[in-house]
Amino acid sequence: MDCVALTGLASFDPFSLKKQSGLKQCQSLVHRMLNALDNLPSDPNQARSRSLFDAFVYTALWANEFDLSLHLDVSINISGTLSEYIESLHKYMVINNIHDLYGIWSERLRDRQSDDTKKPHTVAIVLDNSGPELVADFCLAEYLIHSGFTTRVVFYPKVIPWYVSDVTTNDITWILNEGLSSKFLDDQPLIPLATKWAERWRSRFDIGQFIMRESPFWTYAYSYEEMAVVDPKLHEQLTTGTDVILFKGDLNYRKLVADRAWRPDSVRHKQAAFRKLQFGRPIDPSGQLTCRCFPATAAGDPLDCRCPMPVSKIWPPLICALRIAKADVAVGLNSETLMRVQAESSDWWVIGHYGIIQIVSPIQM
């Protein structure tokens, strides 16, 4: 039998060319995202406005439509402004906690400033797709640092090629060194913008404002409620070393809710799905949350719990999922919204058209 020795197979990504092609097909979206960064107010206090916060969060959400596991060829091209593009998609939001996300995040920042804490504020982004979505995630991270919403952002990519377009470490390296440059792009007005921001982001990695951390846990079959047992180091990083965790995409959402057959409009099912994801919040031996910080308007609504862990006195992280629905699992829809989207399409949650911005923790139990 003949044998052939191969080198480099361990680092081979069969999807890399497809991911790179996806970036080129979405240059108009990338151009408008980078242009939005270029037009940010220089004053961080002005940049911290609700409208700008919303714009960059929504952009990071809707860029999740780029998913090569759902569509072999994805092209997100927009002819109007970025704000017009986002506005046109509001009708497809089925869960939208962006008001609470901004409110809780801002309130915690004010409390940190009054405490004069020297500890850096850290945001973790658990990445999903490469291509234009990765650029949108970098834009969101840049906005958060520029506006003072955080001081550093930790990116969690996959350690191996996964679900076609998922971000790997090599994808990040490629997009910063080649993808956002004249070596690859052919939209001439975009090239100087892309070059400028790629250089800025490489610099942020160099000085530690952007950080990349790997963990094989993201490609394990476990749900995220099992993280503390399966990968205690990662769980510790996210629980005690992170202020905000943003989970991007459909697979991360499915693992957050353990991919069970929840009733989408059941408050009880939402509480059960999110109960074990209250990282760092005080829980009694029976699994019940013991904090009662603030009243909420309805059972299951998000409220800002900052009951510290008994020993460390560290506030639990704010956890939010940003997802375009591509699988038949969801919790937290109200009954009216569920009836509306079911009337629009019986396959509403698998076709990749409907958006979810959902606070996972804190949540009223």
Within a 13 Å sphere around the CA of 14, how many CA atoms are in the beta-carbon half? 3
Sign of the Cα torsion 349, 350, 351, 356 reads positive
Tell whether 265 is covered by a domain.
yes
Tell whether 5 is covered by a domain.
no
In the chain, how many domains are there? 1
CB 50 within 8 A of CB 147: no
Spatial distance between the Cα atoms of 240 and 334, rounded to a whole number of angstroms: 32
User: The CATH number of the domain where 248 resides is what?
Assistant: 3.40.50.10880
pLDDT digits (tens, 9 = 90+) for 10-40: 778 888 998 899 899 999 999 999 999 999 9
Amino acid identity at 1: M
Tell whether 343 is covered by a domain.
yes
pLDDT digits (tens, 9 = 90+) for 34-59: 999 999 999 999 999 999 999 999 99
Q: Crossing angle of helices 27-38/50-62, nearest 10°?
A: 160
Tell whether 14 is covered by a domain.
no
Sign of the Cα torsion 109, 255, 252, 299 reads negative
Tell whether 277 is covered by a domain.
yes
Mean pLDDT in each 10-residue stretch from start to end of the chain (365 residues)?
63 88 92 96 96 98 78 63 91 96 92 75 97 97 98 98 92 98 96 98 99 98 96 95 96 97 95 90 68 58 62 78 96 97 96 96 77
Tell whether 210 is covered by a domain.
yes
Residues spanned by the domain of 103? 30-361
Tell whether 235 is covered by a domain.
yes
CB 255 within 8 A of CB 359: no
Tell whether 18 is covered by a domain.
no
